[in-house]
């Protein structure tokens, strides 16, 4: 069976090109086999994939072997090795399906339109509340996602302009007291609970928009 975490995966097209056979031949080897031996493959994201290691095992099974005087046993992986394989496999699947998870509890984080920063650590709203160092920008964005609101929808519900909301979420400005009160009213009191929110020298104060 293909180990998704450790083996080098190949599409059917690439595997067929490497073996100098047609795609139909390769698919027949996967579904029906050759001389009683099937090429190992797995469906990932709705498409068949095999691996370089699976091709080698398939070739070894079809190649006559000389009897070896000494038999070698495959070492049984330890529980830590198995756990690491599972973690690597889950990470690879998350990358394929573009799933982002909370750094603390590992629950999936979802956002309207799935617009999330690619190279930034993320936390769910429950875990973010416990992080005193979390910026207000992180909190506004995370609680907006938790409420399943786009920036446009949050703007409509608070009366704050979209440009201001974007500035708050990108730490270009801090909301005024009036705007912060409106954000808390829509996103909840936990937006600022258990936090150490202080003015930053590199942030510009927001203008009052009513």
117 part of a folded domain:
yes
Helices (H), the chain: 12-19, 23-31, 52-62, 79-96, 125-129, 136-146, 151-158, 162-169, 177-187
Distances (CA, A) of 162 to 43, 152, 156, 159: 42, 6, 9, 9
Instruction: Please indicate, yes or no, whether residues 106 and 169 belong to a single structural domain of this protein.
Output: yes
What local confidence, expressed as pLDDT, does residue 66 receive? 58
What local confidence, expressed as pLDDT, does residue 182 receive? 96
Instruction: Please indicate, yes or no, whether residues 108 and 26 belong to a single structural domain of this protein.
Output: no
Instruction: Please indicate, yes or no, whether residues 188 and 122 belong to a single structural domain of this protein.
Output: yes
- By residue range, what is the domain housing residue 197? 100-205
Instruction: Please indicate, yes or no, whether residues 29 and 123 belong to a single structural domain of this protein.
Output: no
Q: How many structural domains comprise the chain?
A: 2
In the beta sheet, which residues pair with residue 51? 9
Instruction: Please indicate, yes or no, whether residues 43 and 112 belong to a single structural domain of this protein.
Output: no
Give the separation between CA 92 and CA 53, rounded to whole angstroms.
17
Instruction: Please indicate, yes or no, whether residues 53 and 105 belong to a single structural domain of this protein.
Output: no
Instruction: Please indicate, yes or no, whether residues 25 and 121 belong to a single structural domain of this protein.
Output: no
CATH number at residue 105: 1.10.260.40
Instruction: Please indicate, yes or no, whether residues 36 and 115 belong to a single structural domain of this protein.
Output: no
Token output for 168: 């708050």
Instruction: Please indicate, yes or no, whether residues 140 and 45 belong to a single structural domain of this protein.
Output: no
Instruction: Please indicate, yes or no, whether residues 37 and 114 belong to a single structural domain of this protein.
Output: no
Token output for 196: 């150490």
191 part of a folded domain:
yes
Instruction: Please indicate, yes or no, whether residues 57 and 140 belong to a single structural domain of this protein.
Output: no
pTM of the model: 0.52
Residue-wise pLDDT tens for the chain (210 aa)?
A: 777 778 888 888 888 887 788 888 888 888 888 888 888 888 877 788 888 888 888 888 888 765 555 456 678 888 888 888 887 887 787 678 778 899 999 999 988 876 788 788 899 999 998 888 899 999 999 999 999 999 999 999 999 999 999 999 999 999 999 999 999 999 999 898 876 554 343 344 444 444
Instruction: Please indicate, yes or no, whether residues 46 and 132 belong to a single structural domain of this protein.
Output: no
What local confidence, expressed as pLDDT, does residue 163 receive? 96
* SS3 per residue for 31-87: HCCECCECCCCEEECCEEEEEHHHHHHHHHHHCCCCCCCCCCCCCCCCHHHHHHHHH
């Amino acid at each position: 069976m293909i180990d998704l975490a450790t083996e080098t995966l190949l599409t059917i097209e690439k595997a067929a090109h490497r073996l100098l056979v047609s795609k139909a031949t390769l698919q027949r080897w996967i579904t029906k086999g050759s001389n009683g031996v099937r090429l190992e493959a797995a469906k990932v994201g709705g498409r068949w994939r095999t691996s370089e290691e699976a091709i080698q095992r398939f070739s070894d099974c079809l190649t006559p072997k000389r009897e070896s005087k000494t038999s070698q046993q495959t070492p049984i992986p330890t529980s830590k090795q198995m756990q690491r394989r599972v973690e690597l496999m889950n990470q690879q699947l998350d990358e394929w399906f573009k799933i982002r998870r909370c750094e603390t509890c590992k629950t999936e984080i979802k956002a309207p339109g799935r617009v999330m920063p690619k190279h930034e650590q993320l936390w769910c709203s429950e875990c973010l509340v416990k992080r005193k160092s979390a910026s207000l920008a992180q909190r506004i964005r995370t609680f907006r996602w938790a409420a399943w609101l786009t920036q446009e929808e949050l703007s409509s519900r608070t009366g704050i302009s979209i440009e201001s909301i974007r500035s708050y979420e990108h730490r270009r400005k801090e909301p005024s007291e009036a705007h912060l009160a409106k954000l808390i009213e829509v996103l909840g009191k936990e937006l600022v609970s258990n936090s150490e929110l202080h003015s930053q020298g590199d942030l510009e104060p927001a203008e009052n928009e009513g």
